[in-house]
Structure 1
Amino acid sequence: MDLRQLRYFVEIVERASLTRAAERLNIAQPALSIHLKNMEAELGTALLVRSRNGLTVTEAGQILLAHARRVLSEQENVLDEIRNLGSEPMGQVRIGVPGTIGPLITVPLIEAAQRLYPKIRVTVSEGMSGFVINWLSEGQIDLAIVYTEPNEKLLRSEVILNEEVFAISQPGKLPGEHVDIATLAELPLIVPSHGHGLRMLIDDYFAEHGTVPRIAMEIDSFSSIKALVARGHGASLLPMHAVADELSNGQMEALPVREKPFQRNILLAYQSTRPMTRCQSAIHGLLRTTMIEVAQSGGWPGANMINAAG
């Protein structure tokens, strides 16, 4: 199996159609179909199955897809490195960030990158933290901001900041200026599903205090979580910056948890199985600096440098 076949396979999956992939690759559809059949014959298993929605990737296909993306990305990185020897860094760096952090980081990062590294094309994808870690594992992105240290041995991370998580509700729903864990355990909570960083943090925090959260809804969208809280369907646990607009216009209130500061780390992660290219190294350093500068300037409410937070 060669690089051309891997590239064909990735294109077929991303287009979910042999016809569209063939058009994109400028190859006849029958020829592309033969390439796919040859790959399946070589591996001894189906990689794709037809469904009403087009082509669906099998479990074996998912494994091949992840490896193919990594291999093709590495090939592109090698070519960029060789082309750029002796010149300023040039190429593409793909970054994944949680949706609540994107509005804080993306604009200052892109502006700084354009100023300092005009030949590097930075792309930013937003999603919930669990999705971002998967993107990094599968080689779809090069750098990621995450909330929990990845369990995978292929990934490496560094804690840059931490931030406090608050109980969020409609105004007047929570008594006093703090909320204790007993009260928190009785609230109907609207939270992300298992596998996302914030949900793992919530479950661990309650477990430390010998109780379990009362989960009313699992929603993998922060905008939907906030909308449901604002309409009085429950409470949630979110960092201050995620609800800054809602707090300022009086839609919500945020109370700290009484017993122990409810905090989470914010990490910068990358793949450890391959050395960074010059482009990736440059943007990695710039992203780290941008995160710290935004926090220090007050543009990231509730965030602190890890060594300054104690």
Structure 2
Amino acid sequence: MDVRQLRYFVSIVDYGSLGKAAEKLFIAQPSLSQQMARLEEELGVPLLLRSNHGVTPTSAGDAMYRHARLVLRQMEQLKQEVTKGVGAESGTVAVGLPTTMASVLAVPLFDRIQETYPGIRLQFFESMSGYLNELLANGRLDLGILFRESDTPGITALPVLDEALYLMGEPGGEVSARSTTCKLSKLSGVRLVAPGVSNGLRLLLERTFLRENLDLNIVADIDSLPTMIAIAHSGKACTILPASAVAQWDTARLPKMRRITEPTIERPASICWPNGSPIHAATFAVRQTMIKLISEQVALDLWKGVTLRDVARISG
């Protein structure tokens, strides 16, 4: 086993494909396959499951990935400290952002890191929070934003904000077309589209409507943010989302937004990281930059419906 094989293996898992990994690594796919076969033979266990849909790691491969990524990061850090001094920030940092927050944070984070830490290479993953949780637990992300406020096995959470939810679309009935708020009770039976049943936002809506003894009338499960917003804009159904979900959208394509009240619906958000490995200088720098950016976005009123936690207020 050598460093080259570890780098090859990590790339295959990251891209989910031998072909894509070979292309990115600038080597022939047969050569890459041979390297992986030798690695599996040496270890005596299969590391990758190959199918028509791509390549996924086995349980042994998941363990291999976590350790290989840590070894590669430590070597990267070693080189940086020897050539540029202890604490220098450089290397790749993988960051996972929920789809609703990516439009608010991704580009500003990229710009700030490029400006402040040119030695850091960001790797963005944008997805639903449940999948980001899985990537964090498997060591494929260094940092991620999850909708929770406490630690879970293998993951440390730093609460940074609470985000209010908004009704998007026209519910009709007793809700005035000119109102900027909407009582939750007015949404009983209103046609809604929402993410699928495993999504954290969907679970929050189900718990809230059940607690308030209201009829949650979800007419379609849609795991696509643009599609939910487009349907709300069309008037055929409403949806419930945070304001960050539409922060970068053209106002002409936006549905009417009303903050939900009596009671409000809020969800906590935390910056999270795997706690099974040390935090490197580059990861720490990106984490602190994320906290500061969140505070700045709220202060500039670019991110509505957000209440900052103490760590974000102090950093700002």
Tell me which residue corresponds to 1:284: 287
% same residue: 24
The alpha carbon displacement at 1:192 in A equals 0.9
Match of 2:211 among 208, 213, 233: 208
Residue aligned with 2:197, SS: coil
Q: Which amino acid aligns with 1:129?
A: S
CA offsets per residue over residues 109-161 of structure 1, 9 Å max, x none?
22222232221222322222222222222222211122224774111111111
Q: How does 1:165-184 map to 2 (within 5 A)?
A: 165-170=165-170, 175-176=175-176, 177=179, 178-184=181-187
Please give the alpha-carbon distance, in whole angstroms, between the structure 1 residues aligned to 2:121 and 2:114.
Answer: 8
Please give the alpha-carbon distance, in whole angstroms, between the structure 1 residues aligned to 2:107 and 2:154.
Answer: 29
8 A Cα contact 1:15 1:21, kept in partner: no
Please give the alpha-carbon distance, in whole angstroms, between the structure 2 residues aligned to 1:186 and 1:197.
Answer: 21
Q: CA separation of 1:131/1:31 partners in 2, compared to 1, >3 Å: closer, same or farther?
A: closer
Tell me which residue corresponds to 1:76: 72
Please give the alpha-carbon distance, in whole angstroms, between the structure 1 residues aligned to 2:111 and 2:266.
Answer: 30
The alpha carbon displacement at 1:101 in A equals 1.5
Q: CA separation of 1:211/1:155 partners in 2, compared to 1, >3 Å: closer, same or farther?
A: same
CA offsets per residue over residues 222-247 of structure 1, 9 Å max, x none?
11110112122311111123235669
TM-score by length of 1: 0.82
Q: CA separation of 1:268/1:50 partners in 2, compared to 1, >3 Å: closer, same or farther?
A: closer
Q: Following TM superposition, where does structure 1 have runs of at least 4 consecutive aligned residues deviating by more than 4 angstroms? A: 1-13, 17-27, 171-174, 244-247
CA offsets per residue over residues 58-97 of structure 1, 9 Å max, x none?
xxx4423432332222112211222232252221111111
Moved more, 276-285 or 258-267: 258-267
The alpha carbon displacement at 1:208 in A equals 2.4
Q: How many residues are treated as equivalent by the alignment?
A: 302
Tell me which residue corresponds to 1:188: 191
8 A Cα contact 1:9 1:65, kept in partner: no
Tell me which residue corresponds to 2:94: 94
The gaps in structure 2 that reach 5 residues or longer are: none
The alpha carbon displacement at 1:191 in A equals 0.8
The alpha carbon displacement at 1:300 in A equals 1.0
Please give the alpha-carbon distance, in whole angstroms, between the structure 2 residues aligned to 1:108 and 1:30.
Answer: 39
Residue aligned with 1:84, SS: helix
Tell me which residue corresponds to 2:221: 218
CA offsets per residue over residues 22-42 of structure 1, 9 Å max, x none?
985556377347437637x92
TM-score by length of 2: 0.81
Tell me which residue corresponds to 2:34: 31
Match of 1:67 among 49, 63, 75: 63
